[in-house]
RNA sequence: GCUGGCGUAGCUCAGCGGUAGAGCAGCUGAUUUGUAAUCAGCAGGUCGGGGGUUCGAAUCCCCUCGCCAGCUCCA
């Protein structure tokens, strides 16, 4: 029999008979195939049943690897599809990939799946797992595959087949269930150990709104029950960080059904938090050469026509009529800034000009997309528009990227960067889009930032760099964005006088750093799980008396702290100290000051940090010094103003 | 907007055809307490809103509003 050389993990080599499966080949390496989910052959993931016909390198795919989990989840999706087809034969299968924390499978089943159907499906899946059916791979020509799926009435699979360029495709079969699939898979259904179906939701076929809506069942799977329950309990933990819950519990912000969806109300504690952020923002912008401006809330409709918003953004805008004249309520702040720029003749020496505004805008968002503070209909952006000479553009973009990095560093956020290119609905020539996109790309490259490209996701007037932060459940939210725009300067005929005495066109950047205060406060609340650092905490100190005897001295401590400018409150109630501490702790107040007989007598305080640490009895002044240090408003690294 | 789910006291939730319940929070009283819950009493709801079925609806049906998960869209 012919032998081939197989190398394992780039190390051990063995001569094995040609044509045997990976599983069989492992015996030659004295490896236990039970520990392998699948294997990579020359870097390509393959089933353990894959037959080795030529010399190759193989590497294990272990259960604890991301790829191992992916294969498990993909196979679990197939098991689920088999269960669904056996319980609901009229359902058609669409696609069923593994995703970040699990998998889903889409079905065309017009009656829709009910919550209780999930239980039935789970039960059926368990039966299929007990049957331990092998996942069998077959390769066949596209034509044969088309015939097969046409015979089965699986029209979505036929559509998928149309898009596959290769002549040969693979199918997987377990029991009577056949699916078009690239693989690889587990050896058999019995290898699926711990899984749970989590939810049903509608999903448009191929993600296109005009396509039919399919039923998507989400689930997750792990190699053992312990990992599954760990994952499920981490989801429960994440729910405790949900800003909507913390917003209510900590009395930061809320919404009222009577007021309307997507409209935020700041409660006193949230009002303070927002004010601190606003002051921080203004200071940081002034320091970086931005000028504070303010535009009105609504502007005449002709202006929106001129800018292109009426043609490209109308669905997101609100309108109002005043004395027969129609006004558009601003969804963006750029127009007033453009008019401010245009209100004078500008010299090349004046540039760059950076106008900053905490601008409140209104956008009509579809009801289904609203989400706490993270997606609302009225929000305030930390918005600026930078007008600069073309030769300044890249350094301005880099300056904004630095600004973003500084600020995210202060809050301790990790972020992801995306570059979004020209969308279908957009204004301006190909030429200026290319120019704008290359400016953004150059700046990103020069900064050495890693980024993903989102094709066709740009704004209608220009490409953009988006900075994404994650919420407690790992969902990504766009916060900072830098948008490069040559279109609006052209539409508004902006100009400056160059050193040559001639008129030139400035470039324009639209940019936000935190993004919007609403969204940022939302993700920030989840990021800190409500335990804001002292400089942001709505209440920094709570003064707690042990008995009523402490009230007069406690009052004087409170007054002193208040006069020093700290955000302080008292708890003089007739309650045990433990009770008051528990309450302050639940309110996530950074410092508690315990006032008992000892402190009254020696004119001291005993601070307890939110961490639970007793800082020891000290003179009030010592605590004030400590708090001043702890609550100092942070300034970015290397900041001269510090 | 679409698909599925959920709206009962300030909060978390039970009740799911027979005249509204618990815990926490609130109020009152007692207790004067040293680092995450002292005890007792009281009060609190047109069961999201509207319509219908029924002798009788929080409970069943229809409409509507809001919320949650996801899809599409986006700061």
Cβ contact A475 with chain B strand, < 7 A:
yes
End-to-end CA separation in angstroms for chain A? 78
A209 touches strand B (CB under 7 A): yes
A365 touches strand B (CB under 7 A): yes
pLDDT tens across A412-421, in order?
Answer: 999 999 999 9
State which of A498, A527, A556 marks the end of a domain: A527
Query: What ipTM does the predicted assembly reach?
Result: 0.94
Which 3 state secondary structure label does DSSP give A532?
coil
Q: Give the catalytic positions of A in this structure.
A: 334, 363, 381, 383, 385, 464, 510
How far apart CA A268 and CA A569 sit, in angstroms, is 13
Give the residue among A89, A94, A118, A126 at the shortest CA–CA distance from A107: A94
Strand B at less than 7 A from CB of A371: yes
pLDDT, tens digit, 9 for 90 and up, residues A100-157: 899 999 999 988 888 788 888 999 999 999 999 999 999 999 999 999 999 999 999 9
How many Å from the CA of A591 to C1' of B24? 25
Q: Which nucleotides of B are covered by protein (CB under 7 A)?
A: 1-6, 11-12, 30-38, 65-75
pLDDT tens string A478-512 = 999 999 999 999 999 999 999 999 999 999 999 99
Domain count, chain A: 4
Interatomic CA distance for residues A83 and A93, integer angstroms: 11
Distance CA(A518)–CA(A86), nearest Å, equals 47
- CA–CA distance, A462 with A427 (Å, rounded to integer): 8
The whole-angstrom separation of Cα A65 and Cα A59 is 12
A13 and A140 together in one domain: no
- Are residues A491 and A427 in contact, defined by beta-carbon separation less than 8 angstroms? yes
For residue A255, say whether its CB is under 7 Å from any atom of strand B: yes
> Which CATH number goes with the domain that contains A577?
3.40.50.800
The reply to whether A325 and A474 lie within a common domain is yes
What is the reported pLDDT for A639? 53
* pLDDT grade for A637, boundaries at 50, 70 and 90: low
Which pLDDT belongs to residue A7? 86
When pLDDT is averaged across residues A166-192 and rounded to a whole number, the result is: 93
Q: Hey, which residues does A418 pair with through a beta bridge?
A: A452, A466
Q: Do residue A165 and residue A259 come from a single domain?
A: no
Query: Nearest to residue A396, comparing CAs of A434, A455, A353?
Result: A353
CA of A548 to C1' of B73 (A): 58
Is residue A350 domain-resident?
yes
What DSSP state is assigned to residue A331?
S
Q: Say whether both A185 and A117 belong to one domain.
A: yes
A89 found inside a domain: yes
Q: Is the pLDDT of residue A276 over 50?
A: yes
With CA atoms as reference, report the closest residue to A112 among A211, A213, A188: A213
Residue A366 CB closer than 7 angstroms to strand B?
Answer: yes
Report the alpha-carbon distance of residue A319 to residue A117 in Å, rounded: 45
Domain boundary among A477, A500, A527: A527
Neighbours of A486 (CB within 10 A): 23
Of all nucleotides, the one whose C1′ comes closest to residue A261's CA is B66
How far does the CA of A260 sit from the C1' of B57, in Å? 29
On average, the pLDDT of chain A sits at: 93
| pLDDT attached to residue A641 | 44
A585 touches strand B (CB under 7 A): yes
Scan for tokens 């790829």, then name that residue.
Answer: A67
Helical H segments across A343-392, by residue range? none
Calculate the alpha carbon distances from A616 to A360, A504, A556, A604, A619 in Å: 46, 66, 20, 10, 10
Q: Which of residues 42-71 of A touch strand B (CB under 7 A)?
A: none
Residues A223 and A102 in one domain: yes
Protein-to-nucleotide distance from the CA of A255 to the C1' of B62, whole angstroms: 29
Alpha carbon separation from A534 to A281, A309, A520, A541 (Å, rounded): 17, 42, 18, 9
Phi, psi of A494 (to 5 degrees): -75, 150
């Amino acid at each position: 029999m012919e032998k081939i050389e197989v190398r394992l993990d780039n190390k051990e080599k063995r001569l094995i008979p040609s044509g045997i499966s990976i599983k069989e080949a492992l015996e030659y390496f004295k490896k236990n195939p039970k520990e392998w989910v699948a294997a990579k052959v020359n870097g390509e993931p393959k089933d353990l049943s894959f037959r080795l016909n030529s010399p190759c390198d193989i590497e294990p795919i272990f259960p604890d690897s991301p790829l191992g989990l992916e294969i498990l989840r993909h196979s679990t999706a197939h098991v689920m599809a088999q269960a669904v087809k056996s319980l609901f034969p009229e359902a058609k299968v669409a696609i069923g990939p593994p995703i970040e924390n699990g998998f889903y499978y889409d079905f065309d089943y017009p009656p829709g799946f009910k919550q209780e159907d999930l239980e039935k499906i789970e039960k059926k899946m368990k039966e299929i797992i007990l049957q331990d059916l092998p996942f069998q791979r077959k390769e066949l020509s596209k034509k044969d595959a088309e015939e097969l799926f046409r015979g089965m009435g699986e029209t979505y699979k036929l559509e998928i087949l149309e898009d596959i360029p290769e002549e040969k495709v693979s199918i997987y079969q377990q029991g009577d269930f056949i699916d078009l699939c690239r693989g690889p898979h587990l050896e058999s259904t019995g290898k699926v150990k711990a899984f749970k179906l989590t939810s049903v939701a509608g999903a448009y076929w191929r993600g296109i709104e005009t396509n039919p809506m399919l039923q998507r069942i989400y689930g997750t799977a792990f190699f053992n029950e312990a990992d599954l329950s760990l994952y499920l309990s981490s989801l429960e933990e994440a729910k405790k960080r949900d800003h909507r819950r913390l917003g209510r519990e900590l009395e930061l912000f809320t919404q009222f059904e009577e007021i309307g969806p997507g409209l935020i109300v700041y409660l006193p504690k949230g009002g303070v938090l927002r004010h601190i952020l606003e002051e921080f923002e203004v200071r940081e912008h002034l320091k970086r050469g931005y000028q504070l401006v303010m535009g009105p809330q609504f502007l005449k409709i002709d202006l929106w026509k001129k800018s292109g918003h009426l043609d490209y953004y109308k669905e997101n805008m609100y309108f109002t009529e005043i004395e027969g004249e129609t006004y558009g309520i601003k969804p963006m702040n750029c127009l007033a800034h453009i008019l401010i720029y245009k209100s004078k003749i500008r010299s090349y020496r004046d540039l760059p000009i950076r106008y900053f505004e905490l601008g409140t805008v209104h956008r009509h968002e579809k009801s289904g997309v609203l989400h706490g503070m993270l997606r609302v209909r009225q929000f305030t952006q930390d918005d600026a528009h930078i007008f600069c000479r073309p030769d300044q553009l890249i350094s301005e973009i880099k300056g904004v990227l630095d600004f973003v990095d500084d600020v995210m560093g202060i809050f301790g956020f990790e972020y992801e960067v995306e570059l979004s290119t020209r969308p279908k609905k957009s204004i301006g020539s190909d030429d200026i889009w290319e120019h704008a996109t290359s400016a953004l790309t150059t700046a990103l490259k020069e900064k050495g930032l890693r980024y993903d490209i989102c094709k066709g996701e740009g704004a209608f007037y220009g490409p953009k760099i988006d900075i994404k932060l994650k919420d407690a459940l790992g969902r990504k939210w766009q916060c900072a964005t830098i948008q490069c725009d040559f279109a609006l300067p052209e539409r508004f005929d902006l100009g400056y006088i160059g050193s040559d005495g001639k008129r030139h066109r400035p470039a324009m950047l639209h940019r936000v750093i935190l993004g919007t205060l609403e969204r940022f406060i939302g993700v920030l609340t989840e990021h800190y799980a409500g335990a804001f650092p002292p400089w942001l905490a709505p209440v920094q100190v709570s003064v707690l008396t042990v008995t009523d005897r402490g009230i007069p001295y406690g009052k004087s401590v409170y007054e002193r702290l208040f006069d020093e400018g700290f955000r302080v409150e008292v708890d003089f109630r007739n309650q045990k100290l433990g009770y008051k501490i528990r309450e302050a702790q639940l309110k996530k107040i950074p410092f508690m000051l315990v006032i008992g007989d000892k402190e009254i007598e020696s004119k001291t305080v005993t601070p307890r940090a939110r961490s639970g640490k007793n800082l020891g009895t000290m003179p009030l002044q010592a605590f004030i010094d400590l708090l001043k240090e702890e609550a100092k408003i942070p300034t970015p690294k290397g900041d001269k103003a510090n």
